[in-house]
Amino acid sequence: MNAPTDMKLATGIGAPVLRKEDYRFLTGSGRYTDDVRMDHQTYACFLRSPHAHARIKGIGKDAALAAPGVVAIYTGDDLAADKVGGLPCGWLITDVHGQPMKEPPHPVLAQGVARHVGDPVAMVIAESYLQAKDAAELLEVDYEVMPAVADVRDALQSGAPAVHDIAPDNRCYTWSLGDKAAVDAAFAQAAHVTKLDLINNRLVPNAIEPRAVSASYNRAEDSYTVYVANQNPHVERLLMTAFVLSLPEHKVRIIAPDVGGGFGSKIFLYAEDAALTWAARKTNRPVKWTAERSEAFMSDAHGRDHVTTAELALDKDGHFLAMRVHTAANLGAYLSTFASSVPTILYATLLAGQYKTPHIYAEVDGVFTHTVPVDAYRGAGRPEAAYVVERLVSAAAREMGIDQAEIRRRNFITNFPYQTPVALQYDVGDFNACLDGAMDLADVAGFPARREEAKQRGKLRGIGYSTYIEACGLAPSNIAGALGARAGLYEVGEIRVNPTGSVTVFTGSHSHGQGHETTFAQVVADRLGIGIDQVDIVHGDTGRVPFGMGTYGSRSLSVGGSAIMKALDKIEAKGKKIAAHLLEAADTDIEFKDGKFTVAGTDKSVPFGQVAFTAYVPHNYPLEKLEPGLNETAFYDPTNFTYPGGAHICEVEVDPDTGQVEVVAMTAVDDFGNIINPMIVAGQVHGGLAQGIGQALLENCVYDRESGQLLTGSFMDYAMPRASDVPSFKVDHRITPCTHNPLGAKGCGEAGAIGSPPAVINAVIDALAPLGVTHIDMPASPQRVWQAIRQAGGNA
């Protein structure tokens, strides 16, 4: 990285540059999938199962086919007749606990059986969306309703209805990590054991833009163009062409244009994407579908939904000896694309947290139920791990009478690199620095006075800590492979320097709210010594970008940005050769700094722009030694994850009469390594904290345990956090640069949602502890808090 200059302070690495992309968003010039209009476009509506589990004995199409505007109606049988394959599953783990994971088929449209409320049963295509919707209501589906199971605990009972014949006990896999015998031995020596039963509540992602697809077929070229609100278009294309539609990959162009948020829920190949692509050829008409919000509730992959028993063994001084965790993870009705990796390698590997726990053993049952498939949602496995660890640590401190900060400091990892007992090796960190910073910023010293003052007002005030760590930058191929994954997840960057010195960057990362068009431009501008207005970032189009693994797991800067840095290395190396020719020097004597190539130790130099021009307009150019052009591509596969971490401190006030919890202060001091744009990073943290508070206090996706009906199918009964539910956040950073990527950067996109839920719940318990409450499940709704107070026999 070059040292800052005045110019770079304005736009380079470390500058809080306003987002370049906001001009188009704020002026209504963004182009989302639903904005795509094609000649002769038709509209699709999906008829979805109203039952959680039902045999489909027949589908009468006649009345619907006769309805105005109807172009075609397709069912699972039609797709099967055309040899359309099932949606791919089990992308990451092939073999669990020595047994092959159960991978039941996931048809694009249900074939014979519907397995969750919302399972698509038929696709109606019409001239307008309302015509398609009206016709869908005329379809006569003969359902035989069968018993359903929605809760993992029920699904694991013997005699529970089986979701798939190939998994009669509903277990998709049992997976374990760690040394069980060593853990059992350590527990036998423990002076104290803390045990908690924890539920990590199921969440619905709810990006602002619902999922959308717009597919067209070009008969002359026998090719497809598919616009889709998606976070990783190349992987979508690979899965769709190779597994589902058996099409030549190069005949399908996937464009993920402006996307209004994803939070992990748009990284999968969904049934609707494949169905529309297939139907575009079948009807020879473009087909479009945009999910209604209530459809999104019952068809977007959900998040979390763990039932866990966790134990922590400690010595008499509060040092951690061992941790033992059993988790039943609800996978829903089908195995979604990344669902096997989320509750396993993205979860159990993080159970060491920030602590020197010598022995850890985790066992995970992945369980089918008659519910929407569960997959990645902001944090994906890591919020669940942080919740287990930080709830256990806080409960242990309370039980042993040790101060909440002190028990953490007593057990913090302080020497790096540090090999945890659950596979990961943390490269760097300074956990005490983040905790110190957070305690200062949160004014922990003033808390007793604030608690007393609240008491005078009849309120119970509590403070909660969470010192979390996560693994970002998915996924080093060597580590992913060692953990049983089918593939590592590198990234691609291409730098095209134009003849006049401006630069177009093609990245496999996808920005859907994270501001890559600004931060990636900052990285390139800083390195080449040019203004960020000279740099354009192109992403989200398989027709323009060479390849890409997409955006999730807070990987874009550390992996995608590093691929760009690697391509810039090549640009610089070639630029030196061209400069050496222009300056009549040896290329080994050329230095590049501040946008100039200079002969070392002299004042002889040429600016970057002149080198770019020479590359394309060669004059007296050594063509025999050097190709024209200045265009380089690089693939970057990280050698390790990055390990962002930090300390979150939450302060709440509880009204003991109503159970209402108010978050009165939320402080986050995080370590994201080197920061490219502090303003964007602060925005990422703010959004994550709001989602974490949402999970802790408000959001809960509820199914009826017997019928499998989705009880929270709209915003009327699923509570999203609003501005009035969150305080003004206090955010700061401590920096230990990542040791293994060229930017020294760690991910920041999920941290807020990972660290904050346990901080909020620990604060609620701290507030209620004087009344005898020791545990409460998320979301800590007024009803639950009120009941907990009554059950504990507490009276404020």
Separation of alpha carbons 93 and 487, rounded Å: 9
Read off φ and ψ for residue 640, nearest 5 degrees. -155, 165
* Least distance from ligand MCN to the Cβ atom of residue 306, Å: 18
Q: Rounded to the nearest whole angstrom, what is the least distance from the CB of residue 674 to ligand MCN in the complex? A: 6
Which residue number, 227 or 592, has a Cβ lying nearer to ligand MCN? Answer: 227
In whole angstroms, the minimum distance from the beta carbon of 442 to ligand MCN comes to 23
> Which of 295/750 has CB closer to ligand MCN?
750
The SS3 call for residue 352 is coil
Beta strands 425-426; 535-539: pairing state = unpaired
By C-alpha distance, which of 695, 753, 749 is closest to 725?
A: 695
Q: Are 431 and 467 in contact (CB under 8 A)?
A: yes
CB atoms under 10 Å from CB of 142, counted, come to: 11
Crossing angle between the packed helical segments 782-791 and 751-768, to the nearest 10 degrees: 40
For ligand MCN, the closer CB: 346 or 696: 346
Looking at beta carbons only, is 609 or 673 nearer to ligand MCN?
A: 673
Q: How far is the CB of 25 from ligand MCN (least distance, A)?
A: 11
Is 452 or 533 the residue whose CB approaches ligand MCN more closely? 533
Q: Which is nearer to ligand MCN, 25 or 715 (CB)?
A: 25
With respect to ligand MCN, which residue has the nearer C-beta, 187 or 227? 227
User: What's the closest the beta carbon of residue 516 comes to ligand MCN, in angstroms?
Assistant: 5
Shortest distance (Å) from residue 261 CB to ligand MCN: 4
Q: In the complex, which residue's CB is closest to ligand MCN? A: 513
> Is residue 185 helix, strand or coil?
helix
Backbone angles phi, psi at 60, to 5 degrees: -85, 120
Q: Is the dihedral of CA 317, 322, 326, 327 positive or negative?
A: positive
Report the residue number, 614 or 677, with the smaller CB distance to ligand MCN: 677
∠ Cα 584 586 591 (to 5°): 100
- CB of residue 441 to ligand MCN, shortest distance in Å: 19
Minimum Å gap between C-beta 179 and ligand MCN is 31
Q: Please give the structure tokens belonging to residue 760.
A: 């909020």
Instruction: Give CA angle at 581 (576, 585), nearest 5°.
Output: 80
Q: How far is the CB of 407 from ligand MCN (least distance, A)?
A: 29
* Comparison of 302 and 555: residue with beta carbon closer to ligand MCN: 555
Under 8 Å CB-to-CB from 725, ≥6 apart: which residues? 663, 690, 693, 694, 697, 698
Instruction: Give the Cα separation of 345 and 356 in Å (integer).
Output: 19
Q: What is the binding site for ligand MCN (CB under 6 A)? A: 207, 261-264, 378, 512-516, 519, 551-558, 672-677, 680-681, 684, 687, 745-750
Closest separation in Å from C-beta 691 to ligand MCN: 9
12 vs 708, beta carbon nearer ligand MCN? 12
The single-letter code of the amino acid at 571 is I
Cβ-based nearer residue to ligand MCN, 521 or 785: 521
CA dist 682 → 8, 458, 685, 741 (Å): 20, 34, 5, 22
To ligand MCN, the closest distance from the beta carbon of 317 in angstroms equals 36
Q: Is 100 exposed, middle or buried (0-12, 13-18, 19+ CB in 10 A)?
A: exposed
The string of DSSP codes covering 20-74 is TTHHHHHTT---BGGG---TT-EEEEEEE-SSSSEEEEEEE-HHHHTSTTEEEEE
Residues 6 or more apart whose CB falls under 8 angstroms from that of 159 comprise: none
Please state the closest distance from residue 622 (CB atom) to ligand MCN, in A.
38
Least Å distance, CB 638 to ligand MCN, is: 12
Taking the least distance from each CB to ligand MCN, the nearer of 357 and 522 is 522
* Residue whose CB is less far from ligand MCN, 234 or 378: 378
Distance CA 253, CA 216 (A): 10
In 3D space, the residue among 744, 757, 754, 671 whose CA is nearest the CA of residue 433 turns out to be 671
